[in-house]
Structure 1
Amino acid sequence: MALTWAESYLGRVRTSVGDTETILFVGARGVLLDDQNRLLLIQRSDNHRWAIPAGAMELGESMQDCAIREVWEETGLRATSLTPFAFHTTRTFTNEWGHTYQQILMSFRIHAWEGELLKVTDETVDAGFFPLDALPGPKSRIVEETLADLASFEATGRMVLK
């Protein structure tokens, strides 16, 4: 069962430091492309933007385990084979609630998974696989950058570091 925001490590830290301090957000995202090269996107329940499954790490979790858990919580799919391709440490953003975070985030290409796609979860109102030239909107601002990072990794074999 997924933790509530208040129960999560990040939720507890945010409550402790208040709404105005910038805090570190450590997490992972999982990029799934099916055998037709369609990208799995979720439509988030909080802001209704289409996004790549992702989220914050919990204490004791590895970044890989975080990616596996977040994809499972948001889609019902359990990643069984994945490769890290990008590591971001410098992005700072402020969300819709006025909370500012500096992200430390690893992106993983998920090669294999099991399970059936759930379109609606506690964190999503829709989900599906979409052709890269016909992604739905409005999209999270990181979708295009993540796809560019994956293309760079696939072309060079070098992890993208930002």
Structure 2
Amino acid sequence: MVACVPIPDFVVALRSKIGQVPLPLNGVIAVVLDERNRVLLVRRSDNGEWALTTGCLEPGEQPADGALREVFEETGVLVWVERLLCVEALDLSVAPNGDQVYWLAVGLRCRMVESDAGVGDDESIEVGWFDQDSVPPLPPHQARCLALALAEDAAPWIADPVWEPGSTS
């Protein structure tokens, strides 16, 4: 099952100049909880796996606005951002078309305001609310976001620094 995930116009314009080389992009991961603390997930159309709502930020777009937009576009659910969960540079990802991306992902905990949950675009084939004990396996960085969202007293997570003085990278 391979679907074409829409590519933002600004990325298409960049790709026309740089090809498929690694491109740094900013994205959001929205952990959406309802009044019963169930988790909103989407089943992705490109790989059939369940995931948190994610998306690419438009140039100049604030992460909270991007999370609100992505959740609504993909699921029809209106949310409010409650707090920051993490900021993380993800490993290089390669899209089915060969495009390479280094994502800087901002994880945000969101609370459902109004729900008419359903598939909102062609990025997913199913949308559902899951009790915490029935969440299907998620990619490690998304599982970490979910754990942080469910922990009421968790501080935002950042990776331990690996840079050392005198290194060149």
TM-score computed with the length of structure 2 as normaliser: 0.78
C-alpha separation in 2, matches of 1:99 and 1:126: 25
C-alpha separation in 2, matches of 1:161 and 1:45: 30
> Aligned pair 1:11/2:9, yes or no?
no
SS class of match (2:67): helix
Aligned 8 A contact 1:86 1:150 in 2: no
Deviations 1:23-46 (A, max 9, x none): 112011211122332211001122
C-alpha separation in 2, matches of 1:134 and 1:43: 15
Q: How does 1:32-51 map to 2 (within 5 A)?
A: 32-51=32-51
SS class of match (1:32): strand
1:147 maps to 146
Identical counterparts, % of pairs: 26
SS class of match (1:150): helix
Aligned 8 A contact 1:29 1:70 in 2: no
After TM superposition, the structure 1 stretch with the greater mean CA deviation from structure 2, 37-46 or 91-100, is: 91-100
C-alpha separation in 2, matches of 1:33 and 1:81: 10
After TM superposition, the structure 1 stretch with the greater mean CA deviation from structure 2, 71-80 or 88-97, is: 88-97
SS class of match (1:85): strand
2:97 maps to 97
Deviations 1:63-89 (A, max 9, x none): 111111111111001223431111112
Tell which structure's C-alpha radius of gyration is larger: 2
SS class of match (2:70): helix
Aligned-residue offset at 1:140: 4.2
AA matched with 1:57: L
SS class of match (1:98): coil
AA matched with 1:79: V
C-alpha separation in 2, matches of 1:59 and 1:125: 27
Aligned 8 A contact 1:92 1:102 in 2: yes
**RMSD of the alignment, in Å?**
2.3
TM-score computed with the length of structure 1 as normaliser: 0.81
AA matched with 1:110: C
Length, aligned pairs only: 155
1:106 maps to 106
- 5+ long unaligned stretches in structure 1: none
C-alpha separation in 2, matches of 1:12 and 1:6: 10
Aligned 8 A contact 1:89 1:105 in 2: yes
1:52 maps to 52
- 5+ long unaligned stretches in structure 2: 160-169
